[in-house]
């Protein structure tokens, strides 16, 4: 679980305003429809996400994906912010949530759901799922 980090919202806003790219290496093309297996956590930030839109991860269904998937120097213009969603399947349940944020500390197969979306799949008391199936969809 990542707790609320006011600095993250500030950093994302500065990045969006200046066009500076934050990443963990070379960005990869988003593999729409390719099933991935990885870790799932949640966060509960409020403010502005990497797409430049207001977010409230405590009440909205959304996802932050690894910096490895972001390809534009200005995250507001990134293809991920133009209708790309993540479809997550866990314990026989599937949800689809829009990409609205970047997770700087996530590996490429690690997704960070909003707290609201995470709780639709995982009961309270669980903060991390080590193995989940997910994919990018339009």
100 falls within a domain? yes
Please say if the pLDDT value at position 78 is more than 50: yes
The pLDDT tens digits of the residues spanning 37-66 come to 999 999 999 999 999 999 999 999 999 999
Residue 72 token pair: 């534009």
Q: pLDDT confidence of 28, banded at 50, 70, 90?
A: low
* H or E, element range at 119: helix 115-121
23 falls within a domain? no
Number of domains composing the chain: 1
Report pLDDT for 34. Answer: 97
pTM of the model: 0.80
The pLDDT tens digits of the residues spanning 84-96 come to 999 999 999 999 9
Q: Are strands 36-43 and 63-66 parallel, antiparallel or unpaired?
A: unpaired
* CATH code of the domain in which 77 resides: 2.40.40.10
Report pLDDT for 29. Answer: 83
Please say if the pLDDT value at position 73 is more than 70: yes
Specify the residue for token string 């977010």.
Answer: 55
| Closest to 94 measured CA to CA, from 38, 134, 35 | 134
Range of the domain at 53: 6-18+37-137
């Amino acid at each position: 679980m990542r707790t609320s980090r006011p600095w993250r919202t500030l950093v994302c806003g500065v990045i969006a305003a200046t066009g500076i790219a934050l990443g963990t290496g070379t960005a990869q093309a988003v593999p729409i429809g390719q099933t991935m297996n990885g870790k799932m956590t949640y966060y509960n930030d409020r403010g502005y996400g990497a797409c430049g839109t207001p977010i409230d991860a405590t009440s909205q269904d959304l996802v932050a994906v690894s910096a490895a998937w972001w390809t534009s120097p200005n995250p507001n213009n990134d293809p991920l912010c133009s209708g790309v969603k993540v479809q997550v399947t866990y314990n026989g349940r599937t949800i689809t949530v829009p990409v609205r944020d970047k997770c700087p500390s996530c590996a490429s197969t690690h997704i960070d759901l909003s707290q609201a979306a995470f709780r639709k799949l995982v009961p309270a008391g669980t903060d991390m799922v080590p193995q989940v199936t997910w994919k990018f969809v339009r």
